[in-house]
Structure 1
Amino acid sequence: MEDYETLLSSKNSHLLNRTILRGHSDTVEGLAFNPEDSRRLVSGGDDKCVFFWDTRKSAATGKINDAHQGDVNCVDWSHNGMYIASGGADQRIRIWDVRQLSQSSEVTSFADLREHTGQINEVQFQPCGNSSVLGSCAEDGQVLLWDIAQVESDSKSSTGGEIPSLLLFRHYGHQYAVSEFQWSTVPDDPWTIASVSEDEEGATLQIWRPLDLIYNSPVDAANILRSEGI
């Protein structure tokens, strides 16, 4: 949003017909509601900041200054309401524990994921199933799946090179920048993913399911790949 404001409209009794949330000093790039509480949302923008909002209040309830070293391109809220993920032009994904807001207006990142080699276009927690599973896509043509539950109290950030312990799956199916992806919202099929890339001749949509490769043994996974001609 170019006017640096977040506008909400609703017929719900706890919202005004038109709510304007002011705080960002540059373009707002991403928004996400708390799945546990529709009155709370998070936003990220080109001012490098992440804001937390309660729609019953005009001022932000929390703010992360310099959340990234460049524009904050996208944000998402885990479906258990505990975590925020943000992705930036600095090629990093940062995970924040929202529970810290109940004690302080300051929120610190407990995971800093740097496996992408292009700016992050989207981050999205798995909407069905495990609240700790996160997906990301970027200008490097990859879709990565993470499990932030693997973070240990003494763990260090992933800085490339060796495969980070948080990385579940790496999808190399696209040749160009992946602009968007979506998890399936069907509870019986939570691991189906659709992703779109911006190719030279237009756009490519892929629908894929990594579950069998993640949870099978290496031998079984190899057999699955051979049976599918991969």
Structure 2
Amino acid sequence: MTTFDERVVAPPALRLVRSPGVYRPQSDTWLLAAVAATAGIPASAKVLDICTGTGALAITAAMLGARDVTAIDVCRRAVVSARLNAWLNGQRIKAMHGSMLALPASAEFDVVLANPPYVPSPAETVTRGRRRAWNAGTDGRALLDPICHSLPVLLRPNGFALIVHSTVSGVDKSLRQLRAGGLRAEVVAGSRIPFGPVMRERAGFLTRQGLIEAGQRHEDLVVIRADRS
């Protein structure tokens, strides 16, 4: 596994604007971008970026030479932001409004990138507006589970997926689900970062749930690579 420190997990040279309520690219975004840059995305690749937000990862894939990049998000403002950012960076992507679960059965991709919401949230937490960019149910897997189950269908033969999430959201569960779908899956990169405002505010809940140690104020991000034969 490749370990990145915060000096490495830094924003690339992208021009990004962000509409109110759209997820701001952070360490998880740049960790996944760094791994994508070394993953060997083929020049002819058809790429899907799930939960695109500002489009940073989709634009990165286009910059890496992918010929056909689709970005999808349930937030209309994110779609608008992704389209504008692609134009600002001189790249062509297709930004779509909707859920990846609504993609047609015929949709297959050589590469899938995913930085979904993964922060565990108390049951009573409201998930709307900008909060839906990180709140992901009591175990943090409201979108991770559907993504892991869908990847065997979304990936073409010899295709691969890169997924980033925190260890508090169940890395072993992601690996089991991906492998159960016939994919080869392993953790290929990680980075330890200090808690941001959301994780600091939620530390008590995470401790009670047994997801972090008492007094813990950092989280470990991981990137999982899943390959289809």
Whether the TM-score (by the shorter chain) exceeds 0.5 is no
User: Larger helix proportion, structure 1 or 2?
Assistant: 2
TM-score (norm 2): 0.31
Larger radius of gyration: 1
TM-score (norm 1): 0.31
Q: Higher relative contact order by CA 8 Å / sep ≥ 6: 1 or 2?
A: 2
User: Larger strand proportion, structure 1 or 2?
Assistant: 1
